[in-house]
């Protein structure tokens, strides 16, 4: 394979990273404050999406760069997800960015984040995975601290330091994996594990738990979640909305890749161990996230704890590995796709509301349905979807992922689902309490308002997606299942 | 027959047209920037339902061409989670084609009528939004090929009915009536849901209605399952179709706008129960005889009970509501007696003339601002069109030859005559009572002196002497007289054979014939009823008051609606539920539910406070928590996998 053919394989990532450079160049060349950076960003995203579609249509698959990179439907599924999330955040934050004198940097950083995450999901080698993951993380530290105001800077520093610790744990884990198996490529690790070296169980376990700590930081799983509430509250909300979906999706994507391909899927002596680990993390995250969310009065913190609890729900799909089918991983993918639409919808609605009322306190959302029916309705829809009430996408996602664990047929997994169902009831309390505040309580201020046009576009798009996937889930399910099939070891 | 066969996509379009109208109006209401105006809502609704109506005609034409047999569209997979599979599809056969035609025609005319009746109402757009949603749900119900799909639309129909009955929610009576309608029908739905779960577990996940019917007909389901399933379905049907003892919500539902009553509570939703029984007719037939006999007797009892209440009610709409319950009782009785064709035929003709009568009552209300017949009178001259159409509807309902109601009622009584002479007698007495109360309404409303009307807040303002309603209201009424007069003649033209096309060959046994005894007695009953009403309310010999005194306790009982409401609310709800069950439930609630739901929620708040204290905002804490977490997870894994020492 020639060099260009190899670059062709990572085209979407290259486009996004190159696009970031173009945005920065445009900032230098064009007169200050005039350049249509948002449009340029969307153009780059469209190009990358086009390239990914081209890959999907021509069926481009297989390894490149000496097996460090792999192109498959699994990677493409997530690349689409990242591009969609980035595009939505780009459109939604156009008004917010105008107040910032760093708009070119902001868009360029978003593109770099999307590009490095696209590379991450194509990664098939520990070294590439580490580099891509850290590139993503670095960009996100900068983004969180972007406004350089007190709270934003504090959040950025907190995020940076806990992220650095997580990266340290992860590289330590990689070292264990490499030291035990003698390979950095996931295929190499897989063939070692499949050969059944049971004597290597302890170092392998140490390795994957440390790796999971690093990934768990991205996914915001307990006990690696510490940063989430503080950063959610302190960081600029548009950036947090991106972080809450894209970073989480990236963490789960690479966990799926490493644990399914690298640690040999469901067939090896070690798979029961790591399935159980994810089960423990799932229970801890759901319990902790939901219980802590109950007492929050700041909406950003509430969403932060809610995202921890949701990560727990998603991790059930990883714990359900012993089904031996694609049900678990496709459940994770389907859940993430719906979560992107739902959580972005909720976040954007909160941004649009709070920009007008100047508060993130839940009490200030009283009577919102009369002040801005559209925003309140969409926020409510997203809350219903987060709770998992039909006919929303969140309902199907929960059913799907619970079903994957039940199908596996092991007792501890059924206990896990029972815990998840009880947690859903608990989460209904705080999600629906917010909905109740918006509908029932009297507004303190009767002034009505509407979101800006760009915000309306993404909000309606998110709402339509939530409803559509709730009513017609089959296409997305089959896309996730086909993508998950390529995850099995070749 | 005349047109090429309708493609499946067009049948879906019948369903989606009102859905689009609903979605657009909903967006228009919530997004002010769209510049949506109220008048757009009615135009959009009428266009969408008009489109559905045209396509429904095409579907009916296709179905007639197929002799009523199923067009056999394959279902589509909606959701598949390994062995759990849910399919959605459309069923096109005589039954669904006929129902689509009825629903779209009545709905279309009611929408036109509503533009006049609801003119100037503050919730005009919301009204049409809900009407679109209702029409969509009702169409989804009748075209469903899977039980689950049917059930979802069944619930949607109930929900929209709730919203429309409570449309004027600022009036306490309307809000209470909406709640009552919802709770009582939900009570029946609860048993329907049990039937659904039962059939699901017993057949291993078969939801397809045709398959369930085939299984039942081939005796592949045990008697116990059949009895449970049929009774569950019947309970659901009894709730929706207001059969005793779940009938008492329908009169109260008259608090909704009159066009809503005309569409939902006469022609479509309340007929859904009968439709459901007809859909599962092969299964009902396969059930043990006691089950069908029970159904027939409950229907007959409902018919006569409601008719007696209709005789003494003073509210014109409530008389019509009792009449609807009574006629639905007829249909349920026919299903129980195996009279599939008679039940559907009566459903078909009844939909048109009852909708017409409700529109007539709305027209009268529009002029006088009251529904109380004691305050009406003499409207014959002021409202000639309303009078003429109301007379035609009443004659049809009373079963006077050769109007539509005559033919369908005759079929019903004929079935009773052949199967159970006692029920035939009951049916004939009900026919007499029907003619009596309908002409009581006519004489009280349209004859004699005008007794003043009343200023009531019904959402629009009318003052001065009564006058004829606007054309948007009278034209639909005039159009509805056509089916009320003529559609009975289909009896002579192979209606029975067509409608039986949906059934398997073995249980088709309809043959059109007449019986002179049945014919003579029912005609006698109809004219007898009219004559008696004329004697009492026109000639006033004997005077109605004397009659009421003579009837004594019966009159009091009937006027008190046999105290079913009181028994249901006071007795069952208050005594049984509050005092007896209530205590247990409250205890259960305190201990268990508080423990699980509120307990986890409120109790967890306390833990939440502790958890929040853990979130101190200190970086050192976060990072050491991560490290500690790794150690704990490693230990947990080894403990859980249970053999740390082995390795």
Predicted confidence (pLDDT) per residue in A281-315, tens digit: 999 999 999 988 888 888 999 999 999 999 999 99
What's the pLDDT score for residue A305?
92
Q: What average pLDDT is seen over chain B?
A: 83
Token pair recorded at residue B491: 């009896």
Task: Please report which confidence band the pLDDT of residue A173 belongs to, taking 50, 70 and 90 as the band edges.
Answer: very high
Token pair recorded at residue A367: 């009577």
What's the pLDDT score for residue B325?
93
What's the pLDDT score for residue B225?
87
Alpha carbon of B611: minimum distance to chain A alpha carbons (Å): 6
CB atoms under 10 Å from CB of B159, counted, come to 15
What's the pLDDT score for residue A202?
85
Would you call B636 an interface residue with chain A, using a CB distance cutoff of 8 Å? yes
* Rounded mean pLDDT, A145-174: 86
Chain A residues close to B33, C-beta within 8 Å? 450, 456
Residue with tokens 């205890």: B587
* CA angle centred on B580, ends B579 and B582, rounded to 5°: 70
Cα B126 to Cα A83, A104, A216, B38, distances in angstroms: 38, 46, 48, 9
Task: Write down the domain spans for chain B.
Answer: 1-191+244-272, 349-559, 565-615, 621-647
pLDDT tens-place string over residues B227-284: 999 999 999 999 999 898 888 888 888 888 999 988 988 889 999 999 999 999 999 9
* Chain A interface test: which of B611, B625, B635, B639 (most A C-beta within 10 Å): B611
Token pair recorded at residue B624: 């050491």
Task: Lowest mean pLDDT of A383-387, A473-477, B624-628, name the range.
Answer: B624-628
Contacts 24+ apart (CB under 8 A), B448-451: B448/B377, B448/B378, B449/B377, B449/B378, B450/B376, B450/B377, B450/B378, B450/B379, B450/B382, B451/B374, B451/B375, B451/B376, B451/B377, B451/B378
Q: Considering only alpha carbons, which residue of chain B is nearest residue A280?
A: B633
User: In this complex, which of B601, B612, B615 lies closest to A426 when CB atoms are compared?
Assistant: B601
Residue with tokens 């004594």: B552
Task: Lowest mean pLDDT of A325-334, A340-349, B585-594, name the range.
Answer: B585-594
User: In this complex, which of B33, B605, B647 lies closest to A450 when CB atoms are compared?
Assistant: B33
* B82/A295 Cβ within 8 A: no
B553: pLDDT strictly greater than 70: no
What's the pLDDT score for residue B589?
46
B581: pLDDT strictly greater than 60: no
Dist. CA B37–CA A134, nearest whole Å: 54
Q: List, in order, residues 6 or more apart from B489 with CB less than 8 Å away.
A: B402, B404, B407
B613: pLDDT strictly greater than 60: no
Q: List, in order, residues 6 or more apart from B4 with CB less than 8 Å away.
A: none
What's the pLDDT score for residue B572?
52
Alpha carbon of A19: minimum distance to chain B alpha carbons (Å): 35
Alpha carbon of A206: minimum distance to chain B alpha carbons (Å): 7
Tell me the backbone φ, ψ of residue B558, rounded to 5 degrees: -65, -40
User: In this complex, which of A229, A325, A377 lies closest to B30 when CB atoms are compared?
Assistant: A377
Task: Please report which confidence band the pLDDT of residue B593 belongs to, taking 50, 70 and 90 as the band edges.
Answer: very low
Would you call B640 an interface residue with chain A, using a CB distance cutoff of 8 Å? yes
**What percent of chain A has pLDDT above 90?**
47
Task: Lowest mean pLDDT of A473-477, B77-81, B308-312, B565-569, name the range.
Answer: B565-569
What's the pLDDT score for residue A439?
83
pLDDT tens-place string over residues B456-496: 444 444 456 778 888 888 999 999 999 998 888 887 778 88
Interface of B with A in 6-35 (CB under 8 A): 29-33
* B80/A166 Cβ within 8 A: no
Tell me the backbone φ, ψ of residue B229, rounded to 5 degrees: -65, -50
What's the pLDDT score for residue B643?
47
User: In this complex, which of B32, B626, B632 lies closest to A166 when CB atoms are compared?
Assistant: B626
* Rounded mean pLDDT, A352-375: 88
What's the pLDDT score for residue A409?
74
pTM: 0.64
* B641/A158 Cβ within 8 A: no
Contact present, B203 and B226 (Cβ < 8 Å): no
Chain B residues close to A206, C-beta within 8 Å? 634
* Rounded mean pLDDT, A134-154: 85
A221: pLDDT strictly greater than 80: yes
């Amino acid at each position: 394979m020639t060099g260009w053919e190899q670059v062709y394989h990572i085209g979407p990532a290259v486009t996004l990273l190159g696009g970031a450079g173009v945005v920065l160049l445009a900032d230098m060349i064009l007169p200050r404050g005039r350049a249509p950076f948002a449009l340029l960003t969307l153009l780059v995203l469209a190009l990358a999406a086009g390239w990914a579609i081209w890959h999907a249509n021509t069926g481009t698959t297989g390894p490149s760069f000496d097996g460090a990179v792999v192109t498959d439907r699994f990677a493409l599924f997530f690349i689409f997800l990242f591009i969609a999330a980035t595009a939505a955040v780009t459109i939604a934050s156009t008004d917010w960015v105008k107040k910032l004198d760093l708009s070119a940097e902001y868009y360029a950083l978003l593109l770099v984040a999307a590009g490095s995450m696209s590379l991450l999901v194509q990664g098939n080698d520990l070294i590439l995975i580490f580099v891509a993951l850290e590139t993503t993380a670095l960009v996100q530290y900068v983004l969180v601290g972007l406004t350089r105001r007190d709270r934003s800077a504090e959040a950025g520093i907190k995020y940076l330091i806990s992220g650095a610790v997580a990266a340290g744990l992860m590289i330590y884990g990689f070292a264990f994996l490499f030291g035990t198996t003698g390979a950095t490529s996931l295929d190499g690790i897989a063939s070692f594990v499949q050969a059944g070296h049971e004597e290597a169980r302890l170092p392998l376990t140490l390795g994957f738990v440390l790796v999971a700590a690093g990934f768990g930081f991205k996914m915001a799983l307990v006990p690696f979640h510490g940063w989430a509430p503080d950063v959610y509250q302190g960081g600029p909300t548009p950036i947090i909305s991106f972080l809450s979906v894209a970073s989480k999706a990236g963490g789960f994507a690479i966990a799926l890749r490493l644990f399914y391909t690298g640690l040999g899927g469901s067939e090896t002596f070690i798979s029961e161990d790591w399935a159980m680990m994810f089960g423990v993390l799932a229970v801890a995250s759901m319990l902790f996230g939901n219980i802590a969310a109950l007492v929050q009065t700041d909406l950003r913190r509430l969403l932060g704890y809610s995202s921890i609890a949701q990560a727990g729900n998603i991790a059930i799909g990883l714990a359900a590995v012993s089904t031996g089918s694609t049900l678990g991983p496709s459940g994770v993918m389907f859940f993430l796709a719906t979560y992107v639409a739902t959580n972005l919808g909720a976040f954007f609605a909160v941004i649009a509301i709070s920009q007008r009322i100047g508060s993130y306190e839940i009490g200030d959302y009283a009577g919102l349905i009369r002040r801005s029916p559209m925003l309140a309705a969409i926020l409510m829809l997203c809350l219903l979807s987060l709770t998992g009430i039909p006919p929303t996408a969140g309902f199907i996602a929960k059913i799907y992922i619970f079903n994957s664990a039940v199908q596996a047929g092991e007792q501890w997994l059924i206990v896990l689902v029972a815990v998840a169902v009880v947690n859903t009831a608990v989460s209904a309390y705080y999600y629906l309490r917010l909905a109740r505040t918006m509908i029932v309580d009297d507004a303190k201020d009767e002034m009505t308002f509407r979101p800006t046009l760009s915000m309306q576009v993404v909000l309606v798009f998110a709402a339509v997606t939530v409803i559509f996937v709730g009513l017609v889930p089959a296409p997305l399910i089959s896309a996730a299942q086909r993508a998950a099939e390529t995850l099995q070891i070749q | 027959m005349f047109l090429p066969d309708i493609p499946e996509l067009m049948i879906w379009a019948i369903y989606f047209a009102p859905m689009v109208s609903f979605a657009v109006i909903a967006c228009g209401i919530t997004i002010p920037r769209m510049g949506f105006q109220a008048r757009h809502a009615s135009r959009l609704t009428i266009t969408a339902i008009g489109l559905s109506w045209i396509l429904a005609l095409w579907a009916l034409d296709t179905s007639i061409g197929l002799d009523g047999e199923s067009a056999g569209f394959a279902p589509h997979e909606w959701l598949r989670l390994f062995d759990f599979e849910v399919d959605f599809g459309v069923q096109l056969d005589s039954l669904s084609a006929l129902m689509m035609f009825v629903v779209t025609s009545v709905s279309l005319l009611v929408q036109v009528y509503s533009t006049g009746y609801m003119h100037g109402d503050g919730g005009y757009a919301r009204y049409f939004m809900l009407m679109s949603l209702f029409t969509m749900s009702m169409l989804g119900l009748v075209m469903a090929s899977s039980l689950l799909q049917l059930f979802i639309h069944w619930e949607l129909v109930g929900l929209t009915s709730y919203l429309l009955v409570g449309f004027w929610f600022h009036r306490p009576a309307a809000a209470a009536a909406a709640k009552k309608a919802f709770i009582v029908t939900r009570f029946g739905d609860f048993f329907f849901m049990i039937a659904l779960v039962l059939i699901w577990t017993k057949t291993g996940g078969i939801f397809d209605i045709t398959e369930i019917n085939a299984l039942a007909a081939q005796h592949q389901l045990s008697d116990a399952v059949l009895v449970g399933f049929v009774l569950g379905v019947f309970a659901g049907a009894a709730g929706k179709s207001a059969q005793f003892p779940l009938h008492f919500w329908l009169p109260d539902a008259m608090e909704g706008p009159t066009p809503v009553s005309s569409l939902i509570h006469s022609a479509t939703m309340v007929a859904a129960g009968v439709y459901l029984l007809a859909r599962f007719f092969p299964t009902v037939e396969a059930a043990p005889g006691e089950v069908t006999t029970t159904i027939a007797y409950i229907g007959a009892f409902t018919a006569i009970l409601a008719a007696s209440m209709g005789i003494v009610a003073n509210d014109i709409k409530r008389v019509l509501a009792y009449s609807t319950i009574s006629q639905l009782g007829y249909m349920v009785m026919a299903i129980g007696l195996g009279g599939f064709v008679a039940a559907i035929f009566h459903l078909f003709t009844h939909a048109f003339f009852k909708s017409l009568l409700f529109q007539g009552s709305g027209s009268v209300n529009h002029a006088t601002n009251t529904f109380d017949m004691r305050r009406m009178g003499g409207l014959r001259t002021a409202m000639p069109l309303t009078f003429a159409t109301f007379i035609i509807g009443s004659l049809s309902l009373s079963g006077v030859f050769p109007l539509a109601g005559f033919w369908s009622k005759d079929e019903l009584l004929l079935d009773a005559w052949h199967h159970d002479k006692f029920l035939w007698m009951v049916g004939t007495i009900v026919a007499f009572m029907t003619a009596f109360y309908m002409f009581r309404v006519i004489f009280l409303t349209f004859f004699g002196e005008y007794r003043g009307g009343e200023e009531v807040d019904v959402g629009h303002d009318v003052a001065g002497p009564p006058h004829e309603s606007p054309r948007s209201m009278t034209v639909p009424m005039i159009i509805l007289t056509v089916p009320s007069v003529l559609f009975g003649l289909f009896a002579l033209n192979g209606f029975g054979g067509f409608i039986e096309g949906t059934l398997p060959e073995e249980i088709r046994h309809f043959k059109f014939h007449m019986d002179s005894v049945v014919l003579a007695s029912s005609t006698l009953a109809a004219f007898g009823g009219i004559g008696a009403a004329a004697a009492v309310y026109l000639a006033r010999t004997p005077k109605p008051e004397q009659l009421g005194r003579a009837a004594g306790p019966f009159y009091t009982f009937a006027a008190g609606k046999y105290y079913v409401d009181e028994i249901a609310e006071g007795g069952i709800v208050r005594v049984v539920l509050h005092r007896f069950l209530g205590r247990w439930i409250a205890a259960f609630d305190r201990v268990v539910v508080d423990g699980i739901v509120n307990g986890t929620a409120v109790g967890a708040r306390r833990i939440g406070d502790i958890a929040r204290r853990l979130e101190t905002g200190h970086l050192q804490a976060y990072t050491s928590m991560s490290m500690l977490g790794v150690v704990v997870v490693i230990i947990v894994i080894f403990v859980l996998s249970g053999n740390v020492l082995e390795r």
